[in-house]
Amino acid sequence: MSDPRGTVDLSRFSSRDFPVGAGVVKRTLWYFVNALFFLNPLFPFRTPKPWLLRLFGARVGRGVVVHPGVNIKFPWKLRIGDHVWIGQRVWLDNIDELHIGSHVVISQGALLISGSHDFRKADFPTYSKPIVLEAGCWVGAGAIVTLGVRVGTHAVLSAGTVLTRNAEPFTIYRGNPAQVVGERRIS
C-alpha cells in the first residue's frame, strides 16, 4: 500500500549531473593528498598546506594556517584571504563555492556545509549554494554554517551555534537556531 504523501526511492538517486568541477583523476589525486596531508593528525606541518591547496586550484592568500585533521572536499571551489586560521577537525564540505575573507578564524570542529538534498523529491537529488565568510568573522568551535549563508564582516558564531540564515556584521550569535546575543566591539 503506497502512502499518498509519497516515498523516497534512493535507487533513483544520481549524482551524474552534479557539477563537481574537476575530472576523476584530479578528484582521485585530491582524495589521497587530503588524506595524507590535511586529515592526517600525524602531519602537523602548516607550511606546505596552502601550496598544496593552490596546486589543486584554490586561491589562497598569505599567512594562512591550516591545522591537522582538516577535511576539504573540493579545493578548486575554495577561496581563502590573508591570515586565515582553520582549526583542528574543521570540515569544509564545499561542494559549492566557499569564500573565506581575510583574518577569519574557523575554530576546532566547525562544519561548513554548502550542499544538501531535496527531501521533497523521491530521488533525493543533491543541490548546493555558496557560503561566504566575510573578513574578520569568527566561526566558533563546533559551529555549523549551512548552504547559501553569508557571515557578515566581524560577526561571531559562538561555540556550537547552528547558522541557517545570513549573519549581520559585528553581531554575536549563539544557539540552535542561531540567535543574536550581542554586538561585537573591537578595541
Residue-wise DSSP of 21-33? SS-HHHHHHHHHH
Q: What is the mean pLDDT of residues 67-93?
A: 98
Residue 104: the pLDDT is 98
Give 75: exposed, middle or buried? Use CB within 10 Å, 0-12, 13-18, 19+. buried
**151: which residues sit within 8 A by CB, 6+ positions away?**
131, 132, 133, 134, 137, 139, 145, 157, 163, 166, 167
Residue 91: the pLDDT is 98
Strands of the sheet with 98-100, listed across from one edge: 59-60, 78-80, 98-100, 131-133, 150-151
Q: Which cell numbers hold the place of 33?
A: 593528498
Q: How far apart, in whole angstroms, are the C-alpha atoms of residue 97 and residue 95?
A: 7
Check if CATH label 2.160.10.10 holds for domain 20-183: yes
Domain ranges of the chain: 20-183
pTM for the whole structure: 0.94
Q: What is the mean pLDDT of residues 104-118?
A: 97
Type of residue found at 132: V
Lowest-pLDDT range, 15-19, 31-35, 88-92, 156-160?
A: 15-19
Q: What is the mean pLDDT of the chain?
A: 96
Q: Say if CB 22 and CB 57 are below 8 A apart.
A: yes
